[in-house]
Amino acid sequence: MSHPGSVDIIDFLAFTIYPFIALGIIELISRGIKLSSWKKLSIQGVAMIILSIIYVVFPALIVTREEYSHVEPLWMSIVVMLALAATLFFQAKRTKLDPTKAEY
């Protein structure tokens, strides 16, 4: 990751940890307000899509190094978040149709 436009390891870890922080915060809030499982999963899916868009459009805002004006998006992280969003939406649909299938 030493070529121009890339991010250093600390920023890469931040890019990796932010989605898990978002999922955890949504989980804690939904348990606190006793939100139904399918709504929580849907909100988590939307959050992953929003983070994916942010990672494509605004990656330079997340990077701590100011010497790079152009930061290349981390496409693999974006694809994984979109796959996770699709999985969360599928699970939300499954849980809404049959609430007994909600194991969490």
Task: Find the range with the poorest average confidence among 25-39, 59-73, 82-96.
Answer: 59-73
Evaluated on CA atoms 25, 31, 35, 38, the torsion sign reads positive
Evaluated on CA atoms 8, 10, 13, 19, the torsion sign reads negative
Question: Angle at the Cα of 10 (from 4 to 11), degrees rounded to 5?
Answer: 60
Higher pLDDT among residues 7 and 99, named by residue: 99
2-52 pLDDT, tens per residue?
444 566 677 778 788 989 999 999 999 999 999 988 999 999 999 999 999
Residue corresponding to tokens 């605004």? 58
The confidence score (pLDDT) of residue 1 equals 43
The reply to whether the predicted model has a pTM over 0.75 is yes
